[in-house]
A and B are shown apart, each in its own frame.
Chain A
Amino acid sequence: MPEQQEISLSILKKRWLKFKTLKRGYYSFVLLVILYILSWFLPLLVNNRALVLSYEDEMYFPIISGYYAGSEFGQDVPGETIYRELQATWESENSENWVIMPIYPYSPFEDITVAGNKMYDPPSNTHWLGTDNTGRDVFARLCYAFNISISFALVLTILNYIIGVIIGGSMGYFGGRFDLFFQRIIEIWSSLPMLFVIIIISSIIRPSFFLLIFIYTIVNWIGMTYLMRAEFYREKSKDYVAAALSMGQTNFKVMFKHILPNAMVPIITFFPFAIVGGISALVSLDYLGFGMPPPTPSWGQMLDVGLQNITKAWMVFAPISALFSTLIMVVFIGEAVREAFDPKVYSRLR
């Protein structure tokens, strides 16, 4: 079998190889992807329900099957079983029964109504980052909020991109009246202070995750539209477009099969920065109280509570460090991506 020739590497592959050499960005990327994938399995890692439990030679899986009353396992508590205590009692009794808890056995919603939880508990071995104003575990909330923040930013960015490519692409490709009309709309849209508009809308309707994304998309599609318009406008005057059209390709095919792949550079290089924007937007909305409905774990809400209890430093530092380290990783990725895609090499003086 003849060996593949080096020169036939596609441009994207070359860029990926370049990206891999930029250690700071590459490792941030790997770490962030691993963390995000892990965060989907958070119920297995950070939760107050037992993973597996064996009681009188029968196996139970509370994490899948959900609610079990405490009386079912011979625990004298009202309502749901407190598995941590169950584990402690059975271990001290050396009984046949056993419980396997998640690595971090606290849930983000478990507040002072559960026995043993205290308000404003400073960081300790049991609560790694302490507890908040209602006795909920800060670390557990931090982890769940990470998943929500990243998911929010990802869905938001992808939606914005789809709208941006369709509208911006059509504006650049068709031009004329259509372009002019949308230009005016964009001008009006971008003159509005959007965070305020979102606040007005959110104060009318209590947003859920997808409603919030919807509202934000309505407000936020402009950035990508602008980029795509310029990109399509430039590409459409090139020969390959004329060639495709002369061979009888439809406008739709020319736009999405021929031009779009050539307009990918801004899409990809802008992506990490759009994610940064999405995450910070959600945090600031949550901080103002117009984001996710409570008791959804969110960094913004934790910041708000933290600032009200300024003497309890962990409550401010925990969400800020989480926010900061996530954002800085994304920024590192963005910087590396930009460098990988940018053929310009700055020459030094002389």
Chain B
Amino acid sequence: MTTYFIRRILLMIPTFLGSTILIFVILQMAPGGPLERTIQQLQAGAMQQGESVGSVGDIMSGGSSVLPESALRELRRFYGFDKPVYQRYLIWLGVWPREIKHREVKFSGDVKEVSKNVGRGTYMTLRLEGEQVGVYDKAGITSDIWKGAIDKEASKDDNVVATIFQTEFSGILTGNLGTSYTYDQPVSEVMAPRFKVSMFFGLTGLFLSYIVCIPLGIRKALNHGSAFDFLSSVVVFAAYSIPGYALGMVLLVLLGGGSFWDIFPLGGFRSPTEIWETLSLWGKIKDQLWHMVLPIIAWSISSFAGLTILMKNSLLENISQDYIRTAFAKGLQEKRVIWVHAIRNSIIPIASGIGGVIGVVIAGSYLIEKVFNIDGFGKMGFQAILDRDYPITLGFLVIVVVIRLVSNILSDIALATVDPRIRFK
């Protein structure tokens, strides 16, 4: 059993690599990536400003609508597009040295040695040694920190362009998800608050749907074929046939001050910060609940139908088993037979579903977040794709993938824990 789970966890590694490679390649192949977008923006800016280019500084030297070569190179280096895809992937993973703090150096004509300021008044001596660039400090010893390389694409005949840079291993394996292009913040800092918002909704919704669905399913199973069963089936079918976000829209139009009643707010996680800060604790709780009601209903509806039917069918199946007949035959009370014998066995498929639900909690709710304009995790990922903010997109997808992989294992563990008959091999 333990060996099985250890093997499963080890198998996560190739799956993780496979899916991240897939995501990475799809994103990198996409035209209109961040590099092209930035170039376009800069050019558009230059066109607007005509001759008077000031804001973008040296990148826009000359004021023409075409970016100078060196600026293009710098941009390409900034976004990492000067490397082949596999290197970019490995760098992003954190197992290939990442080059940082680039500085460009030109060797023109016969000059083989250049001194370069690397900040804080420190100078490094660069020496052209055939195909390589040596970097030496003041004492003439090869530098440990700085490395040099020739930029082959930029070099022409006599003019050799080289870069010096520092290297470090930093990628997702070292916990560095990069810096967002649009928010200009580390990705993890952008994600953390939004992740919390989504978790908050997800877990509350999960909790509520379990609280409603399990008793409802039990009741339906015990009264199979009754009027109650029929009526609640209608509700269940209706719930199954309406996507959560569509229900959210209906609720907004009806109760959110659209055309009918104005009871609940139109959206948002809670009141804006200015108002939120002035509220008392009780006020905060009320405000939070007030904002939560509609999204939570919309969120829970998606799992409501499935869970209820699962609970009902599972209990029905158990009730028709022989061991229940035996229990009745030996004269046990109906209550005891159902609540002690049958329910315990019927809860198994529900318990094992928990892991799977967690994955949905995180990623599946962005349509609802969009409808209710909640600044959550899913909406952030969606927006990042629109903005071509690759660090965030990649970070988002990686987290979703990891959560799914882990939750798959969690469901198996949950299943094995509740049902001692199940043994994985």
CB of B323 closer than 8 Å to a CB of A: no
Say whether A188 contacts B22, CB under 8 Å: yes
Contacting chain A: which of B97-105, B143-151, B363-371? B363-371
CB of B279 closer than 8 Å to a CB of A: no
CB of B18 closer than 8 Å to a CB of A: yes
Say whether A328 contacts B385, CB under 8 Å: no
CB of A12 closer than 8 Å to a CB of B: no
CB of A238 closer than 8 Å to a CB of B: no
Contact of A307 with B19 at beta-carbon distance under 8 Å, contacts A196-B385, A327-B241, A331-B240 already known: no
Contact of A346 with B224 at beta-carbon distance under 8 Å, contacts A310-B253, A317-B253 already known: yes
* CB interface residues, A 296-350, toward B, < 8 Å: 303, 306-307, 310-313, 316-317, 320, 323-324, 327-328, 330-332, 335, 346-350
CB distance from A334 to the nearest CB of B (A): 10
Say whether A193 contacts B400, CB under 8 Å: yes
Q: What are some 11 contacts across the A-B interface (CB < 8 A)?
A: A188-B22, A196-B363, A201-B26, A276-B241, A303-B246, A313-B253, A320-B250, A323-B243, A324-B246, A327-B240, A331-B240
Q: How far is the CA of A335 from the CA of B236 in the complex (A)?
A: 12
Interface size, B (range): 35 or more
Note all chain A residues with C-beta closer than 8 A to B14: 184
Closest to A348 in B: B224
CB distance from A146 to the nearest CB of B (A): 15
Count residues of chain A with CB under 8 A from any CB of chain B: 45
Among B27, B245, B252, B381, point to the contact of A310 (Cβ < 8 A).
Answer: B252
- B interface residue numbers (CB < 8 A to A): 11, 14-16, 18-19, 22-23, 26-27, 30-32, 222, 224-225, 237-238, 240-243, 245-246, 249-250, 252-253, 256-260, 266, 316-317, 319-320, 325, 328, 334, 363, 367, 370-371, 381-382, 385-386, 393, 396-397, 400-401, 404-405
Q: How far is the CA of A346 from the CA of B224 in the complex (A)?
A: 9
Say whether B241 contacts A331, CB under 8 Å: yes
Q: How far is the CA of A64 from the CA of B363 in the complex (A)?
A: 48
Among A191, A280, A313, A328, point to the contact of B404 (Cβ < 8 A).
Answer: A191
Closest to B243 in A: A280
Say whether B19 contacts A303, CB under 8 Å: no
Note all chain A residues with C-beta closer than 8 A to B225: 348
Contact of A320 with B22 at beta-carbon distance under 8 Å, contacts A193-B397, A307-B252, A310-B252 already known: no
Contacting chain B: which of A67-75, A109-117, A247-255, A281-289? A281-289
Q: How far is the CA of A257 from the CA of B23 in the complex (A)?
A: 39
Say whether B237 contacts A193, CB under 8 Å: no
CB < 8 Å A-B pair total: 128
Secondary structure at the B interface, as helix, strand, loop or mixed, is helix
Note all chain A residues with C-beta closer than 8 A to B240: 327, 331
Note all chain B residues with C-beta closer than 8 A to A312: 259
Q: How far is the CA of A242 from the CA of B325 in the complex (A)?
A: 40
Q: How far is the CA of A138 from the CA of B23 in the complex (A)?
A: 39
Say whether A310 contacts B237, CB under 8 Å: no
Note all chain A residues with C-beta closer than 8 A to B404: 190-191, 193
Note all chain A residues with C-beta closer than 8 A to B260: 313
